[in-house]
Chain A
Amino acid sequence: MTVRGVIALIPDACTSCMLCVRECPTWCISLQAHPEQVVDEGARRPRTVNVLDAFAIDFGLCMYCGICVDVCPFDALEWAPDHDYGAATRAGLVQPMERLAAWLAPP
C-alpha cells in the first residue's frame, strides 16, 4: 500500500500496453514505444514486440490515486517512498523513465 510517496516504474516489466495512460484521471502519463520484429528459430513468422522508448509522469498533474499502479497487468508501476522531488520550473515536475526507475531502491 502507498506510503504517500511517489510512483516508480520498472521499465523492463512494461509492455507499453497503454492501460495506465488511458486509465489515468488526469492524463499525467506519457508513453512512447515502437514495435520490433523478433525472429524465433523454427517459427513460421516473426514475433512483434513493443519496445518502450519513453515513459514520463507529470507530477504536477498526478493526483496519486494509484489507478495506474492497480491496472498495470505486469506490475511495472509501484509505489516508492520518496517525497523530495520539487522543482523550480513547471517542466521540472515531469519525471522521465530514468528517474522513475531510480526511485525503486534495491531491496
Chain B
Amino acid sequence: MKWVTSPPASAYRLAGDLGVRVVVANLGLACCSMEVEAAVARGLLVPDDGQDPESTVLLVSGTVTDALAPAVLSARDHLDGEVVVVSFGACASTGGPYWDAPTVTKGIDQLLPVAGYVPGCPPRPEALVAGLLDVLRDRP
C-alpha cells in the first residue's frame, strides 16, 4: 500500500489582529474537520495568503487510525520549518469514543510531540481559536 506523500491539508490564518501570525494546516480526518470549516465559514479563519508566518501549526482534526498514522507523520514532514502540532478534538487527543478500538491510535501524542490539545467532540470553532492562541502565546 502506498501512503499519501503530500499532506491533504488546507492552510488557513487566524482572522483579525490577534498578535500571532500563523499558518494553520488542517489535517482533517473526520467530523472535527467540519468545525474547522465552520470556523472558516464564520470568518474566524481566513485562507492562507502566502506571507511568511511566525509559526506553522499542523492541526490534526479527526480520528487517527494506526493505518493512517504514517500519513500524519508524512503531513508533518511536508510542512516547512518548525511545526507546532495541535490536537483538535477527542479522537486526536485520546482516541475519544474509539478508546476501546484496536485499530485507533489512542492520541496522536503516541506519534509525535503535541503542543496543545483542544477538547471537544467536536470542539466549537471558538475553542479552536482559543486553543491556538493558548499554544502560540505560551511559546518562547
Interface residues on chain A, number (Cβ under 8 Å): 21
What 0/1 readout, one digit per residue, does chain A (44-72) give for beta carbons within 8 Å of chain B? Answer: 00000000000000111111100000000
- B-side contacts of A92, CB under 8 Å: 117
Docked-complex contact B117 and A26, CB < 8 angstroms: no
Residue of A nearest to B131 (CB): A86
Docked-complex contact B117 and A63, CB < 8 angstroms: no
Docked-complex contact B130 and A86, CB < 8 angstroms: yes
Chain A nearest CB from B91 CB (Å) reads 9
Is A105 interfacial (CB-CB < 8 Å)? no
With A83-B120, A83-B126, A84-B126 known to touch, is A62 a contact of B90 (CB < 8 Å)? yes
What 0/1 readout, one digit per residue, does chain B (93-128) give for beta carbons within 8 Å of chain A? Answer: 111110100000001010000111111110110110
Bound complex: CA of A16 vs CA of B124, how far in Å? Answer: 30
Is B82 interfacial (CB-CB < 8 Å)? no
- B-side contacts of A88, CB under 8 Å: 115-117, 134-135, 138
Q: Which of A26, A84, A89, A90 contacts B96 (CB 8 A)?
A: A26
Docked-complex contact A25 and B120, CB < 8 angstroms: no
Docked-complex contact A83 and B93, CB < 8 angstroms: no
Bound complex: CA of A92 vs CA of B114, how far in Å? Answer: 13
Chain A nearest CB from B62 CB (Å) reads 14
Is A74 interfacial (CB-CB < 8 Å)? no
Docked-complex contact A83 and B115, CB < 8 angstroms: no
- A-side contacts of B123, CB under 8 Å: 83
Docked-complex contact B117 and A4, CB < 8 angstroms: no
Bound complex: CA of A90 vs CA of B114, how far in Å? Answer: 9
List the interface of chain A (C-beta within 8 A of B): 4, 25-27, 58-64, 83-90, 92-93
Q: Which 8 A-B pairs have the closest CB atoms?
A: A86-B131, A59-B119, A84-B130, A60-B94, A83-B127, A60-B93, A63-B121, A63-B97
Could you pull out 24 A-B pairs where Cβ atoms are within 8 angstroms? A26-B97, A59-B120, A60-B90, A60-B117, A61-B96, A61-B99, A62-B121, A63-B90, A63-B96, A64-B120, A83-B123, A83-B126, A83-B130, A84-B126, A84-B130, A86-B118, A86-B119, A86-B135, A88-B116, A88-B134, A89-B117, A90-B109, A90-B114, A93-B119
